[in-house]
């Protein structure tokens, strides 16, 4: 996978100057791809643009931008309401929910053991990939009965990933999933799509 080239500008709301990609947690890198103007906030139109950049259709991008921003804005901006529903990148760890895979810890850092566990427990057909059925099995296994919203969010996120990135045989590969966790997959998909358009 290509490494992520996302960097936040000096306008980033943490007050730090020259915040670069190396200072972001993997979860922040994952989110920062959608921060199209690099100001530290992700607005619904930026989420839409990000999804379009990686190849999602208009309908999926529209629904995703509304769902994601409305769901995550309040969690990342406690006590601050805006009708524009921005997501604050530096606080994205606050948007973690109980029904996730546990691959991000509470600070948004990558946990290799949890990542490997996805495949050791659920990759029955191919040790380095998930089928649609195995993905559903994983989501069911991670579901917290007291966290219906979080489970639904996980289901939506993973099914979008499967729709966009599974191969013709229905496999969602380990390298692809790994790239999601630090945002590098999004960068690669956007570059590949832009390059393909230039050749048309």
**Tens digit of pLDDT for each residue in 144-195?**
888 888 888 889 999 999 999 999 999 999 999 999 998 899 999 999 999 8
The 10s digit of each residue's pLDDT in 5-61 is 333 233 323 333 333 555 899 999 999 999 999 999 999 999 999 999 999 999 999
Over 90: is that where the pLDDT of 99 sits?
no
Domain spans, the chain: 21-199
Distance CA 94, CA 78 (A): 9
Q: What is the pLDDT of residue 14?
A: 33
Q: What is the pLDDT of residue 175?
A: 96
Number of Cβ within 10 Å of residue 80's Cβ equals 10
Distance CA 116, CA 104 (A): 13
Query: How many CA within 13 A on the CB side of residue 12?
Result: 23
| Residue/partner pairs of 130-135 with CB below 8 Å, 24 or more apart | 130/162, 130/171, 130/172, 130/177, 131/170, 131/171, 131/172, 132/162, 132/166, 132/170, 135/159, 135/162, 135/172
| 35 Cβ contact partners less than 8 Å away, ≥ 6 residues apart | 6, 8, 41, 42, 46, 89
pTM confidence score: 0.81
The 10s digit of each residue's pLDDT in 103-156 is 999 999 999 999 999 999 999 999 999 999 999 999 999 998 888 888 888 899
Tokens of 26: 């993997």
Supply the DSSP symbol for 52.
Answer: H
Longest dimension (CA), the chain: 49
Distance CA 175, CA 83 (A): 37
């Amino acid at each position: 996978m290509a490494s992520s080239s996302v960097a936040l500008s000096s306008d980033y709301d943490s007050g730090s100057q020259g915040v670069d990609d190396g200072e972001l947690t993997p979860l922040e890198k994952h989110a920062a791809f959608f921060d199209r103007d690099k100001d530290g906030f992700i607005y619904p139109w930026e989420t839409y643009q990000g999804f379009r950049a990686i190849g999602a259709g208009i309908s999926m991008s529209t629904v995703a931008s509304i769902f994601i921003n409305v769901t995550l804005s309040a969690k990342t901006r406690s006590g601050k309401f805006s009708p524009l529903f921005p997501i604050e990148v530096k606080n994205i760890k606050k948007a973690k929910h109980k029904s996730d895979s546990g691959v991000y810890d509470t600070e948004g850092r990558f946990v290799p053991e949890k990542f490997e566990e996805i495949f050791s427990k659920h990759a029955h057909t191919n040790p380095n990939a998930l089928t649609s059925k195995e993905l559903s099995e994983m989501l069911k296994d991670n579901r917290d009965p007291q966290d219906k919203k979080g489970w639904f969010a996980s289901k939506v996120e993973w099914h979008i990933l499967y729709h966009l990135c599974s191969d013709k045989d229905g496999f969602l590969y380990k390298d692809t999933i790994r790239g999601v966790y630090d945002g590098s997959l999004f960068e690669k998909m956007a570059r590949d799509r832009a390059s393909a358009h230039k050749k048309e």
